[in-house]
Amino acid sequence: MKAPIFSVRELSKRYGSATVVDRLSFDIAPGQCLGLIGPNGAGKTTTVRMCLGLASADEGEVLFHGASGVLKMPADSMAIKARLGIVSQFDSLDPDFSCAENLLVFGRYFGLSDAVIKERIPRLLEFAALANKAQARISELSGGMKRRLSLARALVNDPDLLLLDEPTTGLDPQARHLMWERLQQLLQQGKSILLTTHFMDEAERLCDSLIVLDHGRKMCEGSPRELVAGQLEPDVVEVYGHGAVALAGSALRALAERTEVSGETVFFYTHNAGPLLQGLGAHKQLRTLHRPANLEDLFLKLTGRQIREDA
């Protein structure tokens, strides 16, 4: 891995007696996308907030490796923030301003001159596929457009690292694909991304490396492919429909290495699905889906299938 641009070392955060981030460490290299995944309450947002200096860490360090040396949160908070961009799932665009004005006002927070920002605005709007919306009001934009404008806004200071907190939550499939395509472009330009997401397909597409968090602790870290191959049986047979759950306690169970139940679906995990599929042939009323194991399976294995109380 290239020398990191951003590091978190043994970071911990407590609220009262609850440790919500527990000795978390990671590095992000230039051009790398690191994903944080985990169930609700796992500590993802708190981690991002500490990276941004919006929440103070009880222990540990947030470090930015700048051209002129290492910067540390919170002492160098202003200098670090100048190198970061953030996009959250909640759009915080100013409804009183047009798209172009939103970029202008935001750029001023970084001390950029109007001339510099105005020079950047056309490129940023074009990047966000909003070139013809410069004068449009925020209320005229679709959800996807607003999110892309938020991304353009996060780029106004030409940051090295983007922190994206569930950047495609609430978007339709087309808008999500366009967002992913733009994020890939940024990675190719050498920008780094720290991403939190609930979408395993998003994590699989964008992330070079993933951390599964639960109860504030790192459960595992690696590329999506390594994690799936290293932690799971390669084949999954999903069975659903009336009476499917009873199969989890039947003789078929012996034909799989691992069996899990979630709602009305049984998941059989195996290295060889042949005998199992043959056995399922006797249950014509049930629907079966034979597929390779994926990140969703890993997520459920590591964090459990029960819905959390705060989910």
Residues in touch with ligand ADP (CB under 6 A): 15, 20, 38, 40-46
SS3 assignment for the chain: CCCCCEEEEEEEEEECCEEEEEEEEEEECCCCEEEEECCCCCCHHHHHHHHCCCCCCCEEEEEEEECCEEEECCCCHHHHHCCEEEEECCCCCCCCCEHHHHHHHHHHHCCCCHHHHHHHHHHHHHHCCCHHHCCCEHHHCCHHHHHHHHHHHHCCCCCCEEEEECCCCCCCHHHHHHHHHHHHHHHHCCCEEEEECCCHHHHHHHCCEEEEEECCEEEEEECHHHHHHHHCCCEEEEEECCCCHHHHHCHHHHHCCEEEEECCEEEEEECCCHHHHHHHCCCCCCEEEEEECCHHHHHHHHHCCCCCCCC
Query: In this complex, which beta carbon is closest to ligand ADP, that of residue 40 or of residue 185?
Result: 40
Provide, rounded to whole angstroms, the least separation between the CB of residue 308 and ligand ADP: 9
Provide, rounded to whole angstroms, the least separation between the CB of residue 221 and ligand ADP: 16
Provide, rounded to whole angstroms, the least separation between the CB of residue 46 and ligand ADP: 3
Query: In this complex, which beta carbon is closest to ligand ADP, that of residue 45 or of residue 102?
Result: 45
Provide, rounded to whole angstroms, the least separation between the CB of residue 38 and ligand ADP: 5
Query: In this complex, which beta carbon is closest to ligand ADP, that of residue 35 or of residue 107?
Result: 35
Query: In this complex, which beta carbon is closest to ligand ADP, that of residue 17 or of residue 188?
Result: 17
Provide, rounded to whole angstroms, the least separation between the CB of residue 185 and ligand ADP: 27
